[in-house]
Every structure is written in C-alpha cells, then in structure tokens.
C-alpha cells in the first residue's frame, strides 16, 4: 500500500502509536486538533520527500496538574526482552519518584536501564509490568489519543541525536509542537528562549547549517516552547564538545531555578550530573543509590562505591 506521495507505508511514523514519529525521509503522521489541515508537504530535499500527515482528533480533556504530586513516578516498573534462559531484565522492579521543580540526573553504566526507564516513564515504550505516572495520570490507562496528547502537551523531549526535522529551519523546528497543536505562539516566550539559548541569529538556518551545539539548543527551545510540566533529556550532551555541553547544562539549570521546570536527565557524565539537584543511580535495572546536592567528585566517588 502506498500513500499519495508515492512513499512506502512502512515509512509512516504514527504518533498515536507508542513509538516516536519518523523524522527521516518519508511520511510523519501526527495527531493534531480537528482544524489542522489533513496533509501538508513540508519540503523536498534532493530526491527525499518529507510529508507530514496530520491525523485529526477530537478535543480531549487533559488531567489538571496536581502541584503536590511528583512530576513523574514509577512503581515496580519492569521491562524484559526475550524469553526463557535468554530473558534480559532491562528494568527490574524500579520504584522512583521525580519531584516537581527539581533537576534530577539518572546515572549508571551502559545497559543499566537508564534510557529504558526514561522511555517507559515518558510513554515512548511499554513496560512489561508495573506502573508509570506523569503527575497523577497513569500512562497505561491512556488510549492512543490520550497518550499522544500527553506527550505533546505535558512532556518535552531532548535527545542526544537532536531529532530536528532536516528540511525545516531552526525557527520552524522550535514552533513545530505549537503548529501541530494548532495553538498560538507565545511570542514573548519564544523570544526569551531563543535569546537565552543564543540562537536568535540562526532561526532561518536549517540543521545542516548549524553546529551540533546550536542544533541541541534548538532542540531545547522546541522542548520548552509549550511550557511542559516535565522535560526528559536523554544524554543531551553526548554529541557536544565541553564548551557546548556546559552552555546547555547551564541553561537547563536556569530553567529549573528561574522557571520552576522539572527535568529528568539521563547522563554518563559526572560533571553534567553535578548541575542537578539529585542523582539517581541505576545498575542491572535497579535503583541502587542516590545523591542530593551532587558535585562531580561526589558522583565519581559514588560510582566507585558501586564498583562501576
């Protein structure tokens, strides 16, 4: 089966399903309010076409934010792969809470379950058992439309690989969540973000015309543009040099201190973790410790105690 643009159906990324929309050549299918056009050709780059198909959805109510509840929490969260003797427990009964208005870093060796935990708590992956909450909303109880609405309206994402749409300018990438929601841009907030991130002079540039640090700052602005109640950042400095990493981490720190943002950041870098209010340590799919008011030295010391 082929869509009107002549692209294989296998290239369609459906945001109503529990996987990220495809941001490579092909079709991106995203759920948006009913007034948004059904199909929009974004742009053609060489022989690769990028088509955004907007799936119209009826308005749904969003759970009111309970400021006294954690920003997110997991209860006995388990994720396994394989069967029998070959089973791998990526998460092994994780219980953890992430407070509102705090910056939490999640650390652990490769394969400890850091990214799997974040993906399950953000509704990007489905746990084998256990429960995950954003605020008071249990993710597993949401239907596909509710899950899409939650990820679009209540959560911001920053990934190591930036995940910018290559055919859109920096400004268009930043406002993409608002455009998809059919909402109005808060120009004052937009201006603040691009000014604070130092990308006001790059708004007309496409990702290929920007450095890695600039691309990640655009991704941060996109994550914050709708003022979500929670930001998940998965190794956001992994592809950056030390100077760009420090600038990005300082911005995330200010977002918490000055704007009461809630941030959960997966990282392997003790210096990055030192920007957080709290560090949660994972090993073998389990929470094995935590630090409050961390420093780079105390994080390294804790990792050594864990034998990692």
pLDDT in tens, 215-227: 999 999 999 999 9
* Helix H or strand E encompassing 197: none
pTM for the whole thing? 0.76
Of residues 15 and 253, which shows the higher confidence score? 253
The set of residues, in sequence order, having a beta carbon less than 8 Å from that of 69 and lying 6+ positions away, is 100, 133, 135, 136
Residue percentage of the chain with pLDDT more than 90: 65
Q: Give the pLDDT band of residue 49 (cuts 50, 70, 90).
A: very low
Q: Contact, 237 vs 192, CB < 8 A?
A: no
High-pLDDT (> 70) share of the chain, %? 77
- pLDDT of 299 above 80: yes
Q: In the prediction, which pLDDT does 113 show?
A: 93
Distances (CA, A) of 203 to 87, 157, 166, 193: 47, 20, 13, 12
Q: Which residues share a beta bridge with 104?
A: 264, 278
């Amino acid at each position: 089966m082929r869509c009107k643009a002549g692209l294989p159906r296998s290239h369609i990324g459906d945001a109503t399903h529990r996987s990220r929309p495809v941001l490579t050549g092909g079709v991106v299918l995203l759920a948006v309010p009913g007034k948004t056009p059904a199909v929009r050709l974004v742009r053609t780059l060489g022989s690769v076409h990028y088509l955004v198909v907007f799936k119209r959805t009826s308005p749904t109510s969003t759970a009111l934010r309970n400021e006294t509840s954690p920003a997110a929490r997991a209860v006995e969260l388990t994720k396994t792969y394989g069967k029998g003797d070959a089973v791998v427990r990526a998460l092994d009964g994780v219980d953890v809470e992430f407070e509102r208005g705090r910056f939490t870093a999640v650390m652990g060796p490769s394969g400890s379950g850091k990214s799997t935990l974040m993906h399950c708590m953000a509704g990007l992956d489905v746990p084998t058992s256990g429960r995950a909450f954003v605020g008071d909303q249990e993710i597993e109880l949401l239907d596909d439309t509710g899950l899409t609405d939650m990820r679009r309206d209540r959560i911001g994402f920053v990934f190591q690989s930036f995940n910018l749409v290559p055919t859109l300018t920096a400004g268009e990438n930043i406002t993409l969540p608002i455009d998809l929601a059919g909402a109005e841009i808060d120009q004052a907030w937009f201006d603040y973000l691009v000014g604070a991130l130092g990308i006001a002079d790059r708004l007309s540039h496409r990702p290929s015309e920007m450095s890695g640090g600039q691309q990640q700052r655009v991704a941060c602005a996109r994550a914050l543009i709708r003022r979500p109640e929670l930001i998940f950042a998965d190794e956001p400095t992994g592809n950056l040099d030390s100077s760009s990493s420090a600038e990005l981490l300082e911005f995330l720190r200010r977002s918490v201190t000055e704007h009461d943002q809630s941030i959960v950041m997966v990282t392997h870098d003790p210096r990055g973790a030192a920007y957080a209010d709290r560090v949660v340590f994972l090993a073998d799919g389990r929470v094995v410790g935590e630090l409050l008011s961390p420093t780079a030295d105390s994080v390294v010391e804790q990792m050594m105690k864990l034998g990692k």
